[in-house]
Amino acid sequence: MDSDGYDRFTGPEQHNNQLWQKIVFYQASG
């Protein structure tokens, strides 16, 4: 999933959460 997918899932309200989820996903993927 790309950053865009997460942005739609979390939304603009949880901008900080989006970054955290992105990092977690990246680590899990790698």
Q: Yes or no: say if 22 and 1 are a contact pair by the CB < 8 Å rule.
A: no
pTM (two decimals): 0.33
Instruction: Domain of residue 25: give its range.
Output: 1-30
Q: Yes or no: say if 25 and 13 are a contact pair by the CB < 8 Å rule.
A: no
Express each pLDDT in 4-22 by its tens digit: 555 555 555 556 677 888 8
Q: Yes or no: say if 7 and 18 are a contact pair by the CB < 8 Å rule.
A: yes
Q: Yes or no: say if 17 and 10 are a contact pair by the CB < 8 Å rule.
A: yes
- Please count the structural domains in the chain: 1
pLDDT for residue 13 = 58
Q: Write a three-state SS string for the chain.
A: CCHHHHHHHHCCCCHHHHHHHHHHHHHHHC
